[in-house]
């Protein structure tokens, strides 16, 4: 019986696998924006801004993009309020496939390139939107359309991202779509960062509440450096 040396074949397969994955890894290492593939799982309780940032950093680290300082796009309210737009650096920001979302903060809050096709996860995957099952297009932001915190006493940040039982959270639509497909371009439902507050049987901040209106506790993450 003639023995066949399989080492060259194995080496070729390994080389092909590495060659296939290399472009993806290179793109993700240059990634500076993503939508989290999963939320922390506790509704609006993210462990504050610090916990949300850690979640972004951890997901980025898992795909080889942990060398940057990642920040969640979130505002807080009250004394010492924080604006989401002030947390995320100066840009430009690009997704896992190298597509530029916005070149700077002003463009991000104006005519940006964020939509269902470009709002990709850290893995380079799309996220379900209107018309998909389940719809996951709601993203936690706690922000007004210009990226600033809400004034006044109405809670739009689930107690500054520490509660899954009290308050509500302002949500954005990553696919820029509401349930009304005929809504005009300036309709709030088409806003990526300030579409509507969360709501539900528990008030608005539980994981079940977030899912009930088309979300999953997802976040926008930006590289701030």
Region 8-34: mean pLDDT is 58
Of 52, 65, 53, residue with least CA distance to 24? 65
Do the domain assignments include residue 18?
no
Do the domain assignments include residue 13?
no
Region label for 166, one of left (φ > 0), alpha (ψ between -120 and 50) or beta (otherwise): beta
The domain containing residue 91 runs over which residues? 30-223
Of 184, 111, 108, 173, residue with least CA distance to 136? 173
Do the domain assignments include residue 21?
no
Greater pLDDT, 9 or 87: 87
Do the domain assignments include residue 153?
yes
Q: What's the total number of domains in the chain?
A: 1
| Residue that is written with structure tokens 């896992």 in the block | 96
Do the domain assignments include residue 10?
no
Do the domain assignments include residue 146?
yes
Number of alpha carbons in the 13 Å side-chain half-sphere of residue 144: 12
Q: Which residues pair with 100 in a beta bridge?
A: 94
Check pLDDT > 70 for residue 11: no
Greater pLDDT, 85 or 152: 85
> Which pLDDT score, from 0 to 100, does residue 185 have?
72
pLDDT tens for 188-214 read 788 999 999 999 888 899 999 999 989
> Which pLDDT score, from 0 to 100, does residue 178 have?
83
User: Encoding tokens for residue 19?
Assistant: 């060659």
Do the domain assignments include residue 25?
no
pLDDT tens for 91-146 read 999 999 999 999 999 999 999 999 999 999 999 999 999 999 999 999 999 999 99
Query: Distance (Å, rounded) from C-alpha 50 to C-alpha 109?
Result: 23
Do the domain assignments include residue 24?
no
Task: Indicate the pLDDT class of residue 27, thresholds 50, 70 and 90.
Answer: low
Phi and psi, residue 48, nearest 5°: 75, -175
What stretches of the chain show up as alpha helix (H) in DSSP?
7-29, 48-62, 105-108, 158-161, 207-212
> Which pLDDT score, from 0 to 100, does residue 146 have?
97
CATH at residue 121: 3.10.100.10
User: Encoding tokens for residue 10?
Assistant: 């194995």
What stretches of 63-173 show up as alpha helix (H) in DSSP?
105-108, 158-161
């Amino acid at each position: 019986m003639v023995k066949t040396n399989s080492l060259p074949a194995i080496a070729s397969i390994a080389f092909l696998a590495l060659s296939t994955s290399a472009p993806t890894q290179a793109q993700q290492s240059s990634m500076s924006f993503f939508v989290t593939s999963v939320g922390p799982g506790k509704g609006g309780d993210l462990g504050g801004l610090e916990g949300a940032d850690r979640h972004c950093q951890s997901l980025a680290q898992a795909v080889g993009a942990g060398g940057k300082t990642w920040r969640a796009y979130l505002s807080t309210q009250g004394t010492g309020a924080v604006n989401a737009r002030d947390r995320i650096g100066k840009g430009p920001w690009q997704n896992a496939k190298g597509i530029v979302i916005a070149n700077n903060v002003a463009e991000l809050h104006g005519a940006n390139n964020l939509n269902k096709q470009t709002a990709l996860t850290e893995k380079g995957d799309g996220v379900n939107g209107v018309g998909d099952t389940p719809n996951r297009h709601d993203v936690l932001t706690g922000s007004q359309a210009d990226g600033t915190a809400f004034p006044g006493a109405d809670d739009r940040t689930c107690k500054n991202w520490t509660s899954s039982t009290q308050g509500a959270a302002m949500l954005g639509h990553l696919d820029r779509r509401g349930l009304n497909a005929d809504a005009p371009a300036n309709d709030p439902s088409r806003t990526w960062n300030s579409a509507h507050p969360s709501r539900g049987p528990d008030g608005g901040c539980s994981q079940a509440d977030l899912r009930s209106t088309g979300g999953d506790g997802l976040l926008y993450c930006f590289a701030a450096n």
